[in-house]
Structure 1
Amino acid sequence: MIDKSEWARLIPHQGLMCLLDRVIGWDEACIHARSASHRRADNPLRGDGVLRAVHLCEYGAQAMTVHGALLARAAGGAAAPGYLVSLRGVELARPRIDDLGGELDVHAERLLGGDGSWQYAFRIEHAGDVIGRGRAAVMLHPSPEQQARA
């Protein structure tokens, strides 16, 4: 398990917008994180007092971000900033998630990764049931070195 204090500074999501609580495990291909932030009244994604299931996509995207940051750190660098450019095949099992007790298990698996983009599959479970899944693509902002080569 990796404490949040070890990886939170590696990602752009800070304060309340950092939705994941801890990383359970990760390797080159995937990451498993947990969160109970869906129950917080101050969750910044809440609207009209409700946290809708569509926000599970953000939980998946943050797991991708943490995974990319951990991979970059392991290689001796830092992850390039990225922009979520597409979601595909999103399936949601319920309309809202703030009424779920306990924690969410957030899984992300890297399908493709290169200097310019990442593609991941994500899956969010609650009490062993899949409540959301999909695929996401991120375009990375080129580093100054990459821009100089272009």
Structure 2
Amino acid sequence: MIGRSDILALVPHQGAMCLWDEVLAWDAARIRLRTGSHRAPDHPLRGDGRLRAVHLCEYGAQAMAVHGGLRARAGGGTAPPGLLVALREVRLHLGRIDDLPGPLEGEAEALAETAASQQYAFRVLHQGTVLAEGRAAVMFAPPA
């Protein structure tokens, strides 16, 4: 199993801003993760004591980052820094997530990639029910 300390070594998101706790499975095309971070009272994305479903887009983007980090590590390198530049066809199926009792599971699948960008589809689920889904695009910083 790939745990939180491994995830922290792969992504720029650190401390409480690293939203995923463990990788359940992954291959070259997709990843599946799990977390309980949405229940943390000190979650960095909370506002007015609540964590809204729109923040599931960040969970999706971080699933992409973890996947990219794992793929780069498997190839003997590190993932380049990226910037989330687009969200498309996002569907949120509830209003808030901080009151959900069990862990969240995330899935991301690489759809297209070039040396400069990647596009993924993502889904975040709770107890088998889809909470959010959509597509996200990331642009990479040019090599220095």
Name the TM-score class by shorter chain.
over 0.9
The answer to whether residue 65 in structure 2 is matched with residue 65 in structure 1 is: yes
The answer to whether residue 130 in structure 2 is matched with residue 130 in structure 1 is: yes
% identity of equivalent residues = 60
Deviations for 1:44-93, whole angstroms, at most 9, x for unmatched residues? 00000000000000000000000001101111111100000000000001
SS at match of 1:9: helix
Q: 1:27 Cα shift?
A: 0.3
SS at match of 1:83: strand
The answer to whether residue 7 in structure 2 is matched with residue 24 in structure 1 is: no
Tell me how far apart the structure 2 counterparts of residues 78 and 84 of structure 1 sit (CA, whole Å).
Answer: 18
Deviations for 1:21-49, whole angstroms, at most 9, x for unmatched residues? 10001000000000110000010000000
8 Å CA contact retained: 2:7, 2:21: no
Q: Which runs of 4+ in 1 moved over 6 A?
A: none
State how many pairs are aligned. 144
SS at match of 2:41: coil
Partner residue, 1:147: none
Tell me how far apart the structure 1 counterparts of residues 10 and 32 of structure 2 sit (CA, whole Å).
Answer: 17
SS at match of 1:69: helix
Q: How does 1:1-150 map to 2 (within 5 A)?
A: 1-144=1-144
Tell me how far apart the structure 2 counterparts of residues 54 and 13 of structure 1 sit (CA, whole Å).
Answer: 18
Q: Which amino acid aligns with 2:103?
A: E
Tell me how far apart the structure 2 counterparts of residues 105 and 10 of structure 1 sit (CA, whole Å).
Answer: 19
Report the TM-score, using the length of structure 2 for normalisation: 0.98
Unaligned stretches of 5+ residues in structure 1: 145-150
Quote the RMSD (CA, aligned, Å).
0.7
Tell me how far apart the structure 1 counterparts of residues 6 and 49 of structure 2 sit (CA, whole Å).
Answer: 31
Q: 1:136 Cα shift?
A: 0.1
